[in-house]
Amino acid sequence: MASEKSSNAKTGHKFQRSGFSYEQLIRFFFASNAGLSIVILTLIIAFLLKEGLGFFPGYRRDLETYRIAGLEFVDISRNNLTAHEQLTSLLNRAYYAEVNGKSSRELKRTEEASALYNAFTDQVGPTRDLILNNPQAETDGNAGMKAALLNNYEKQREKALQKPLSTPHLTNEERQQLIESLRARPPEATDDPPLVAALAQEFVAAQQKHAAPLQEFRTVIDDFESAGFDLGSIVMEMTESVTVTKEQLQTADILEKDRKTLLAAASGEKDPVERERLLADAHAALADKPDVETPMQALLERKPECVRLHEELKTASSAAFDKIPQSLTESDAKRILSAARKAWPVFITDLDMAPGKINAWKHTDPVPLSDAFMSFLTGKKWVTGGEWQDFYGILPLAIGSLMIAMIALSIAIPVSISAAIYVNHFAKPREQALVKPIIEFIQAIPSVVLGFVGILVFGTILREISVMDAFQWVPGFPIEERLNIFTAGCLLALMSIPTIFSLAEDALNNVPSAYAEASEALGASHVQTAFRVMIPASFSGILAAILLGFGRVIGETMVVLLVAGNRIKIPDFSEGLGAFFQPSHTLTGIIAQELGEVPLGSVHYRALFVVGIVLFAVVLGINATAHHFVNRAKK
């Protein structure tokens, strides 16, 4: 019916549609811009997936080589050996902590004296060098010049001695004596000032004195260490043979890949002569399959020996470990010793399980693709570029990212939400006009600059606080690394405060003022109105603000790269909350750090892409959830 009518209408009637209108043009302009961003997003996702998904087959092949070449077999013994070495090192550290702790007075005295002396030489160094290394002054015997240089030196010396470093552990006489000896010191002297030398000796003597009663402990540690020697040497031998096999396998893989490329080129080639040539090349590249069987048989024959050595290691190290002192006196030494005691049962269970593992191991077991998936998702090791075997386990990175985010959010959420509540409900208009822009201004600080400040100021201050006696009750203090999860978390908190603050403030602002009026007209106080009506009403919005802050923290790269300490290891949770003061690496940081250095298309390169995909998915998920809450708040 409609078409019937339209056919009746003559062209040129007064409702005639004009051709391509100006309005359509404008519409097209805006639509194309919106479309462009969608296209780009799609391309990015496609690119990520294309580069990333190749990772799993590649990694599977890596793991297969790891097994076929026998590296996996060697790792059974090697892991136990490493555990043994770590235990040895803990015992050694406990020993030295005890000795040095007992000689700590002497240690401080010698350190302070040398510090003062070193600061002095640093300052007079340049003028002193001028006197000593001036050939002109030597040869010409130019007395005037020599005198001038000497004069210069003396001036510098007096300046250096005006404010010598403080030496709280030296007596006043000693300090005076040291300063005088420096003043009287001829420029060409090279030996240490008498007091510095004497204190060094005093320290050595103290060390010896305190080491004497620990003689037995020392022997026990040495016995413990030597218990691992036999297993160590066999692991070394096996390591050599399996590395050779592994290299052969890898070379064969590369040749095979080349051959496939040549074959593909040949099948696409039109010219018969050229095709022949390519095919011949491909044929030549057909490598002999490397012989993995012979070395493998040799390796498998060592099974009984490995088992025996494990048992020996267990007996010998148990005998030694039983004899370590029940307790030490210095608190550091105690702490380290108890860490060793904690690690001991784990070590022993691993040793007990080793024979079973060794006997059950088969180089012919297949490596399914799911192994590569699981190894990526649940792997505790991210090891790359090593000579031995690369592992791409995301856990250390994910845990690092999460722990940093936890610190950041647990600081940023209370601060920014309270600030938002204050600005929105309690601040006078003038305070509002001041506080809001200042908080939002933090956003303008480039993250590199923030990272910079973090390293130089915050990290240092934190470390200094952590060695203060008054703060020793804090778990993890004194901190070993200046750059750690906590420092990164604090800086990220600073970065996410403006995000959370602005969004939360918006959310509070969006609550209809009619609610406030109603509440106050009912005789509720201002505080009651804020906390019973306004804040609950903006709850969804505040939650969204927190989530977006979380997304921001997880996605932030520069600050964590600079400040988190970049140690790829799952933090040691046996320290409890102290784990937050350990360095860590992150999902974002690893990409930024390694992507520039990896060969294009390698498994490592693809692994970084998969990390990128994970990150993308996580942030997308967070934002989608936040969006959900925002929508709910709008309703």
Partner 1 sequence: MNDLQEIPTASKTSTTSVDIRNVSFNYGNTQALKDITLDVRRNEVTAFIGPSGCGKSTLLRCINRMNDEIVGTRITHGEIVVDGINIHDPSVDVVKLRRDVGMVFQKSNPFPSSIYENVAYGLRMRGERDKAVLDQSVHESLQAAALWDEVKDRLNESALGLSGGQQQRLCIARTIAVKPTVVLMDEPCSALDPIATAKVEDLIWTLKNDYTFIIVTHNMQQAARVSDKTAFFYMGGLIEFGETKRMFSSPSVKKTEEYITGRFG
Question: Helix, strand or coil for residue 605?
Answer: helix
Take residue 519 and report the two structure tokens written for it: 């509440």
Q: Could you tell me if 490 and 411 are in contact, meaning their C-beta atoms sit under 8 angstroms apart?
A: yes
Instruction: Quote the least distance from Cβ 544 to partner 1, whole Å.
Output: 16
Instruction: Quote the least distance from Cβ 524 to partner 1, whole Å.
Output: 4
CA distance 56 to 286: 25
Instruction: Quote the least distance from Cβ 513 to partner 1, whole Å.
Output: 9
Cβ neighbourhood burial of 285 (10 Å; 0-12, 13-18, 19+): middle
Of 416 and 519, the one with the shorter C-beta distance to partner 1 is: 519
Instruction: Quote the least distance from Cβ 410 to partner 1, whole Å.
Output: 29
CA distance 469 to 467: 6
CA distance 323 to 94: 15
Of 338 and 528, the one with the shorter C-beta distance to partner 1 is: 528
CA distance 202 to 477: 30
Q: Could you tell me if 355 and 307 are in contact, meaning their C-beta atoms sit under 8 angstroms apart?
A: yes
Q: Each residue of 395-406: b (16+ CB within 10 Å) or e? A: ebbbbbbbbbbe
Of 475 and 536, the one with the shorter C-beta distance to partner 1 is: 536
Of 327 and 513, the one with the shorter C-beta distance to partner 1 is: 513
CA distance 262 to 278: 6
Of 479 and 543, the one with the shorter C-beta distance to partner 1 is: 543
Instruction: Quote the least distance from Cβ 533 to partner 1, whole Å.
Output: 6
Residue located via tokens 């011949």? 280
User: Cα–Cα–Cα angle for 72, 77, 81, nearest 5°?
Assistant: 130
Take residue 476 and report the two structure tokens written for it: 């993890």
- How many beta carbons lie within 10 A of that of residue 516, not counting itself? 18
Instruction: Quote the least distance from Cβ 537 to partner 1, whole Å.
Output: 5
Of 346 and 522, the one with the shorter C-beta distance to partner 1 is: 522
CA distance 529 to 514: 11
**Whole-Å CA distances, 360 to 299, 354, 356:** 14, 10, 6
CA distance 169 to 109: 6
Of 516 and 615, the one with the shorter C-beta distance to partner 1 is: 516
Take residue 409 and report the two structure tokens written for it: 């959010």
Of 413 and 633, the one with the shorter C-beta distance to partner 1 is: 633
Of 524 and 595, the one with the shorter C-beta distance to partner 1 is: 524
CA distance 443 to 418: 18
Q: Could you tell me if 318 and 351 are in contact, meaning their C-beta atoms sit under 8 angstroms apart?
A: no
Residue located via tokens 């260490």? 225
Of 65 and 519, the one with the shorter C-beta distance to partner 1 is: 519
Q: List, in sequence order, the alpha helices (H) in 302-330.
A: 303-322
Instruction: Quote the least distance from Cβ 548 to partner 1, whole Å.
Output: 23
Instruction: Quote the least distance from Cβ 326 to partner 1, whole Å.
Output: 58
Instruction: Quote the least distance from Cβ 516 to partner 1, whole Å.
Output: 8
Instruction: Quote the least distance from Cβ 417 to partner 1, whole Å.
Output: 19
Binding site for partner 1 (CB under 8 A): 429, 512, 514-525, 528, 532-533, 536-537
CA distance 307 to 312: 9
Of 270 and 428, the one with the shorter C-beta distance to partner 1 is: 428
Instruction: Quote the least distance from Cβ 625 to partner 1, whole Å.
Output: 21
Please, which residues bridge with residue 392 across strands? 382
Of 85 and 517, the one with the shorter C-beta distance to partner 1 is: 517
Take residue 11 and report the two structure tokens written for it: 């062209």
Instruction: Quote the least distance from Cβ 633 to partner 1, whole Å.
Output: 10
In terms of Cα–Cα distance, which of 571, 335, 581 is closest to 481? 581
